[in-house]
Amino acid sequence: MRENLEPPPFSGTVPGRSRPFAGRRLGQRLWQFASDLFGINPDTNIDPQERGKDIRLACGLGFPVVVFFAIFNLVNDYLLLGVMEAASAFIFLPPAYEMSRKERMLLPSEIMVMLCATVIYTVLYHLGGIEGTGIYWIFSMPFIAFFVTGQQRGWLWSLVILSLLLLITPFSGFSSVQLDHFELAMFFYVVIAASFNMLRIRFETKLDRQVKENTVVAQAYLEKLQFLAIHDEHTGLPNREGIIALLAEEMRRDQDGDATLVVVYLKLVRVVELLNIIGPEQGNLLFSQIVKNLKNMVQSNGHAGRLGRDEFVFFFRSHAKLDDGGWLASRLGEGFECMLDSQTFNIEYQAGICAFKGEAKAEDLLRKTEQAMLAARSCQRDFFVYDEDDDRKFIYHHLLFGKLREALQRNHLEMYYQPKVELATGVPIGAEALARWNDSEVGPVSPALFIPVAEQSGLIIPLTRWAITTAVAQCAEWRASGLDLGISINISARNLADPGLISHLENMADTFRVPPERITIELTEGVFLDISKKATTLIHRMHEKGFRVSIDDYGTGYSSLAYIKGLPVSELKIDQCFVRGIMESRSDAMIVRSTIEMARRLGMSVVAEGVEEAGIVAQLHGFGCSVGQGYHFGRPMPGRVFLEWAEATCGEVRGAA
Distance CA 265, CA 373 (A): 6
pLDDT higher than 60, residue 17: no
User: Are the CB atoms for 639 and 414 separated by under 8 Å?
Assistant: no
Q: What is the pLDDT of residue 429?
A: 95
Bridge partners, 354 (sequence order): 263
Taking the CB of residue 279, how many other CB atoms lie within 10 A of it? Answer: 9
620-634 residue pLDDT tens: 999 999 999 999 999
507: buried, middle or exposed (CB in 10 Å: 19+, 13-18, 0-12)? middle
Using the predicted structure, report yes or no on whether residue 20 has a pLDDT greater than 60: no
Statement: residue 534 has pLDDT above 60: yes
pLDDT band for position 165 (cuts 50, 70, 90) = confident
pTM for this entry: 0.59
The lowest-confidence range among 113-127, 164-178, 535-549 is: 164-178
Cα–Cα distance for residue pair 517/501, rounded to 1 Å: 16
Q: Are the CB atoms for 608 and 579 separated by under 8 Å?
A: yes
* H-helix or E-strand spanning residue 637: strand 637-638
Which positions ≥6 away from 137 have C-beta within 8 Å? 121, 124, 129
From CA 491, how far away is CA 520, in angstroms rounded?
Answer: 10
What is the pLDDT, as a whole number, of residue 559? 45
Burial class (CB in 10 A: 0-12, 13-18, 19+), 306: buried
What is the Cα–Cα distance from 295 to 236, expressed in whole angstroms? 12
Q: Would you state the pLDDT for residue 11? A: 47
Strands (E), 269-356: 302-306, 311-318, 336-340, 343-347, 349-355
* d(C-alpha 64, C-alpha 93), whole Å: 10
Binning pLDDT at 50, 70 and 90, where does residue 6 land?
A: very low
Residue 10: the pLDDT is: 44
pLDDT at 14: 46
pLDDT digits (tens, 9 = 90+) for 627-655: 999 999 999 999 999 999 999 999 888 77
Q: Decide if 152 contacts 41 (C-beta within 8 A).
A: no
pLDDT beyond 70 at 39: no
Higher pLDDT, 507 or 272: 507
Residue 657 reports pLDDT greater than 70: no
Name the amino acid, one letter, at 320.
Answer: A
Helix (H) or strand (E) holding 259: none
- What is the structure's pLDDT at 417? 97
Integer CA distances (angstroms), 638 to 417, 432, 621, 635, in order? 6, 12, 28, 10
Give the strand pairing for 486-490 and 519-524.
parallel
| Residues in Cβ contact with 639 at an 8 Å cutoff, skipping those fewer than 6 apart | 415, 417, 474, 477, 478
Helix, coil or strand: residue 434: strand
Domains of the chain: 32-209 (no CATH), 240-386 (3.30.70.270), 397-656 (3.20.20.450)
pLDDT, greater one: 69 or 345? 69
Q: Model confidence at 4, in pLDDT bands (50, 70, 90)?
A: very low
Question: In whole angstroms, how far apart are CA 626 and each of 425, 596, 629, 650?
Answer: 10, 9, 11, 17
> Is the C-alpha dihedral spanning 361, 362, 366, 372 positive or negative?
positive
CA distance 97 to 113: 9
* End-to-end CA gap in the chain: 126
Please state, in angstroms and rounded to a whole number, the distance separating the CA atoms of residues 451 and 459.
9
What DSSP designation does 238 have? Answer: B
202-257: per-residue pLDDT in tens? 888 888 889 989 999 999 999 999 999 999 888 888 999 999 999 998 888 755 55
Three-state DSSP class for residue 88? helix
Mean pLDDT rounded to a whole number for the chain? 85
Q: Kindly state the average pLDDT of the residues 158-164.
A: 88
- Judged against a pLDDT cut of 70, whether residue 69 lies above it is answered with yes
Kindly list the distances between the CA atom of residue 266 and the CA atoms of 118, 286, 374, in Å, as whole numbers in the listed order: 81, 16, 10
- In this prediction, residue 421 has a pLDDT band, given cuts at 50, 70 and 90, of very high
- Quote the longest CA-to-CA distance of the chain: 152
Handedness of CA 21, 23, 24, 26 (dihedral sign): positive
Summarised one tens digit per residue, pLDDT across range 184-208 is 888 899 889 888 888 888 888 888 8
The pLDDT tens digits of the residues spanning 302-361 come to 888 999 888 999 888 877 776 655 666 666 655 567 777 777 777 888 888 888 887 878
Mean pLDDT calculated for residue range 518-547: 84
Beta bridge partners of 350: 267
Say yes or no to pLDDT of 1 above 50.
no
- d(Cα 109, Cα 98) in Å, to the nearest integer? 8
* Alpha carbons 632 and 613: distance in angstroms, whole number: 5
| pLDDT band per the 50, 70, 90 thresholds, residue 563 | low
Closest CA to 428 of 418, 439, 437: 418
